[in-house]
Amino acid sequence: MTTIGIDGLRFYVPAYALDLADLARARGVPEGKFLHGLGQRTMAVAPPDQDVISMGASAAEQALIGVDRDRIGMVVLSTEDGVDMSKAGAMYLHRLLELPASCQAYEVKQACTAGTVALQQALFYVSANPDRLALVVMADEARYAFHSPAEATQGAGACALVISARPRIAEITPVFGVYTEEVADFWRPVYREEALVDGHFSIEMYMRALAGSWADYAFLRGGVKIEDFARFCCHLPFARIADKARARLLKVAGVTPDKGRHLGADDCASYGREIGNTYTASLYVALASLLETGQEDLAGREVGMYSYGSGCMGMFFALRVMPGYTAALAAKENAKMLQQRQRISVAQYEEWRGQRLPEDGRTVRLDHFGSARFRLCGCAGHRRCYERSKTKITPAVLPVMNHTS
């Protein structure tokens, strides 16, 4: 049987972050609620010249280092922040990443589970075309209303996976347990910039879908036994949910908390604690966190993966970590990317969030914010324009959006 799985795994976060202690002060909330209750320290904030396409392209560019791009037969974008109702965001990625004309490009949606749906399709594609590769790009900006309880669970970023029949990082068994139920726990009508959410109900649904998808995975589809998992990695809207999800999984699997202690939670949340929710990318940023910041050698071991998307659908699956996996990861680069981010004030974050591209077809050129590899450079005639940055710019004073009509 062919081994199919993850050969490349890279993520990208914008160069700006907001300290949640500052947000707590500005909102009159005890900082312990954000820092300990939710387990978050900072949240990534996208400047006006970053969106899901530019962030996705930056993550993918890194994942494609050393890859023969002519072998890529499929690029899928999963996002909740699609920039067009018709044209797939993957079309822009196809051009920015200089992929071959024989590579199919499309977009998928089902809240945060869309990343896993895209991964599943990539596995099917590579199993039918083992000499080719598939590129999965997940990118999002989690946005809720100012002053809402959900505001502290925002974030921004992208993750890219290269799927191959000779994976260096992890093999994925194509057995997926699923739980689907139509509910209104979190949603975003097309006319809104910010998501609407029934916070406590969304957590209840997250847990119900975990139990349901685990039951489908373990009892109906013959998945890996709970005692054979070395670790458990889950969708992370905020870091503290990892402990609660692990406790729920142990309960439904009939394992005592003591016996299930090794499944861990902390190292899968190390990156998320500094980034916040990245919706579709969040589970895969958590996987990078587990593999890059965990102390244990996971080679040859199984990791249980839980993907949740509001609305809602839960998916449970497993991956087996490959020998020598650390050589294919980028722990040092990622630590540097997170450390070098510039802290911004609450006022700056609010000002950026108020900026919009015009909706009347005017030409707008956006200033550079930071030194991202790819950027949204503006729009003209209702079309978004992207470019690869040529110069490295570290702004001493943050520039503002430059509108020209």
**With contact defined as beta carbons under 8 Å apart, do 228 and 302 qualify?**
yes
**With contact defined as beta carbons under 8 Å apart, do 57 and 97 qualify?**
yes
**With contact defined as beta carbons under 8 Å apart, do 242 and 212 qualify?**
no
Token couple for 279: 């919706």
Q: Which of 112, 233, 234, 312 is catalytic?
A: 112
* 370 vs 375: CA distance, rounded Å: 10
| Cis amide prior to 159 (ω within 30 degrees) | no
* 227 vs 213: CA distance, rounded Å: 17
Q: Could you tell me the smallest distance in angstroms from the CB atom of residue 158 to ligand HMG?
A: 15
Q: How many residues bind ligand HMG (CB under 6 A)?
A: 28
Residues 280-299 that bind ligand HMG (CB under 6 A): none
Token couple for 317: 């699956």
Nearest CB to ligand HMG, comparing residues 57 and 197: 197
Q: Is 33 in the site for ligand HMG (CB under 6 A)?
A: yes
Q: Is 211 in the site for ligand HMG (CB under 6 A)?
A: no
Taking CB under 6 A as the criterion, the residue among 63, 64, 76, 112 binding ligand HMG is 112
For the chain, how far is it from start to end, CA to CA, in angstroms? Answer: 59
* 341 vs 351: CA distance, rounded Å: 18
Token couple for 404: 């020209």
Taking CB under 6 A as the criterion, the residue among 16, 206, 214, 374 binding ligand HMG is 206
Q: Is 112 marked active-site?
A: yes
Nearest CB to ligand HMG, comparing residues 97 and 195: 195
Q: Is 235 marked active-site?
A: yes
Name 340's Cβ contacts closer than 8 Å, sequence gap at least 6. 15
Number of other CB atoms surrounding residue 134 within 10 Å: 27
Q: Is 203 in the site for ligand HMG (CB under 6 A)?
A: yes
What single-letter amino acid sits at 198? Answer: D
Q: Could you tell me the smallest distance in angstroms from the CB atom of residue 42 to ligand HMG?
A: 15
Q: Could you tell me the smallest distance in angstroms from the CB atom of residue 295 to ligand HMG?
A: 26
Q: Is 81 in the site for ligand HMG (CB under 6 A)?
A: no
Helix (H, G, I), strand (E, B) or coil at 8: strand
Q: Could you tell me the smallest distance in angstroms from the CB atom of residue 333 to ligand HMG?
A: 26
Token couple for 364: 């707008």
Strands 302-309 and 229-234, sheet pairing:
parallel
Residues 181-200 that bind ligand HMG (CB under 6 A): 186, 197, 199-200
Q: Could you tell me the smallest distance in angstroms from the CB atom of residue 89 to ligand HMG?
A: 16
Alpha-helix residue ranges (DSSP H) falling in 107-167: 114-128
Q: Could you tell me the smallest distance in angstroms from the CB atom of residue 30 to ligand HMG?
A: 4
Q: Is 176 in the site for ligand HMG (CB under 6 A)?
A: no
Strands 313-321 and 170-172, sheet pairing:
antiparallel
Backbone angles phi, psi at 379, to 5 degrees: -150, 160
Binding mask 220-239 for ligand HMG (x = CB under 6 A): ---------------x-xx-
Q: Nearest to ligand HMG by Cβ — which residue? A: 37
Q: From 174, 62, 69, select the one nearest 126 (Cα to Cα).
A: 174
Q: Is 150 in the site for ligand HMG (CB under 6 A)?
A: yes
Q: Is 153 in the site for ligand HMG (CB under 6 A)?
A: yes
Query: Among the candidate windows 34-42, 71-79, 321-329, 386-394, which touches ligand HMG by CB under 6 A?
Result: 34-42
Q: Helix crossing, 346-353 with 20-27: angle to 10°?
A: 80
Backbone angles phi, psi at 348, to 5 degrees: -65, -45
Q: Could you tell me the smallest distance in angstroms from the CB atom of residue 112 to ligand HMG?
A: 3
Q: Is 147 in the site for ligand HMG (CB under 6 A)?
A: no
Q: Could you tell me the smallest distance in angstroms from the CB atom of residue 312 to ligand HMG?
A: 7
Q: Is 80 marked active-site?
A: yes
Q: Is 245 in the site for ligand HMG (CB under 6 A)?
A: no
Q: 313 has which bridge partners?
A: 180, 309
Residues 309-368 that bind ligand HMG (CB under 6 A): 309-310
Residues identified as active-site: 80, 112, 235
Per CB under 6 A, residues contacting ligand HMG are 30, 32-33, 36-38, 80, 111-112, 149-150, 152-153, 186, 197, 199-200, 202-203, 206, 235, 237-238, 277, 279, 308-310
